[in-house]
Amino acid sequence: MTKPTEPAKAPRRGLLAAGLAGAVAAVAALYVIVGPNGNIADAQSCSAALASAKAAKPFAKGEVAAFLPASQPLDLQNLTFLGDDGNPRTMADFRDKTVLLNLWATWCAPCRKEMPALDDLQADMGGEDFEVVAVSLDRGGPDKPKAFLEEIGVGNLSFYQDSTNKLLQDLRKVARATGLPTTILIGPEGCEIGTMYGPAEWASGEAKALIESSMRPSGT
């Protein structure tokens, strides 16, 4: 009997390659931030954030037209930075609250310009269900950013910082935070609803409508 020729194996290799490509695509769709214990959260836990992103999409216009609703929300619960007391905080500490996470620094002119609007947004909407979390990435400690905030009269925002810039590095690993300012709207379960690169007038009616729409994705 004649042995099968070598080309007959090609379809099998093709199926193997297709299966591998599918597996890679599946993994790519499950971006999360890895926690300090090495565990990776289940990306399926972000289904609520996906619904919020869809609800917010029609409101990405005007002052927040550059807001990008997440199509594959990141689980951001393990993002870490420091509180005003110098103790570590994670996004998991804000669970059950919608958060507008803003990365800024005093050397970033657009960041400085939008800070009063973020302070006004916190004054208008801050409470049990929502908080603006503005994290300073200034190196050298908290003195310089605190002095700047005091100088411009910011009094509603709590102070957060990360002088190591690890927060920025962790977000860059998952294709976020390409520069400053970067602002991420995060749902109560700790997952990304959408991301804004560059400054925005966060105290505007359009920004508030976008945030409010994400907090009631069912239309209630």
Q: What is the DSSP letter of 130?
A: E
Q: What is the DSSP letter of 35?
A: P
Alpha-carbon distance of 102 to 186, in angstroms, equals: 11
- Strands of the chain, DSSP E: 68-69, 80-82, 88-90, 98-104, 130-136, 160-161, 182-186, 192-197
pLDDT digit of tens for each residue in the chain (220 aa)?
Answer: 545 544 444 444 444 444 434 433 333 333 444 444 333 344 558 999 999 999 999 999 999 999 999 999 999 999 999 999 999 999 999 999 999 999 999 999 999 999 999 999 999 999 999 999 999 999 998 999 999 999 999 999 999 999 999 999 999 999 898 899 999 999 999 999 999 999 999 999 999 999 999 998 764 4
* pTM over 0.85, yes/no: no
In order of start, what are the domains of the chain with their CATH numbers?
A: 7-214 (3.40.30.10)
